[in-house]
Amino acid sequence: MMLTVENVTCARGGMPVLSGVSFALDAGQALVLRGPNGCGKTTLLRTLAGLQSPLAGSVTFPEDEGAYASHADGIKAQLSVTENLSFWADVHGRPMPDDVFTSFDLDDLRDRLAGTLSAGQKRRLGLARLGVIGRKVLFLDEPTVSLDGFSVRMFADFLRDKHLAQGGVAVIATHIDLGLDAPEMDLTPFKADHTATGGSDEAFL
């Protein structure tokens, strides 16, 4: 098992939003999270990625293999496309793969400053980071926002051929159909009881 999630309860602003979430993903599998706005998809993904600790339950995946991507791409407007990507390659201590520009249709934009890109192009640059850092366990929060149909297919191809096919796993929160052969999980049944206690920060502090 690459990723095991057992009975996780997660909270936002001290209030439990989801409880009892369990699933397991084997190498090459993906899981699509569904649910209405505000049901806790982002909170769950941040908890899984380790940015916040779960109130209860456990998340296990190989150490130093998790990567998180959200609407905010961490793109520096004053750096060029190549500089942005090679920074993340350096931070992760990996060589810069050459095919990543082609995979995300960034070939013509290599030397453009990221600040001059359109919203969709920026999004592609943000997603291209995933191709650079080579992490096996991806937590993706609405990866296709502001992408056109062509780019969505391109990203789905990348996930299928370059990531899942090489033994990666992905947990994706999205409202549109990516065309991936992946099971979907509706988060509505896991909605936490708001009267439940345990949302305090005491244990952490």
Partner 1 sequence: MIALLARDLRLAVRAGGGFGLGLAFFLIVIVLIPFGVGPEASVLTRIAPGVLWVAALLAALLSLDRIFALDHEDGSLPLLATSPLPLEGVALTKGVAHWLTTGLPLTLAAPALGFLLNLAPAAYPYLLASLALGTPALSMIGTFGAALTVGIRRGGLLLSLLVLPLYVPTLIFGAEAVRLGSDGLSATVPLAMLSGITLFSYALLPFATAAALRINLR
- Binding characters for partner 1, 176-205, by CB under 8 A (x = yes): ----------------------------xx
Options 16, 35, 54, 66; binder of partner 1; rule CB under 8 A? 66
114/182 with CB nearer partner 1:
114
For partner 1, the binding residues in 127-156 under the rule CB under 8 A are 129, 133
* Residue 31 near residue 23, CB atoms below 8 Å: yes
Cβ within 8 Å of residue 175, ≥6 positions away: 34, 142
CA pair distance 27, 188, nearest whole angstrom: 26
SS3 42: helix
Sign of CA dihedral 42, 131, 103, 169: negative
Instruction: Give the β-pairing of 184-186 and 56-60.
Output: unpaired
Query: Which segment (21-29, 32-40, 89-97, 161-169) binds partner 1 by CB under 8 A?
Result: 89-97
Binding segment (CB under 8 A) for partner 1, from list 19-27, 33-41, 65-73, 166-174:
65-73
Binding site for partner 1 (CB under 8 A): 46, 49-53, 64, 66-76, 78-79, 83, 87-88, 90-93, 129, 133, 204-205
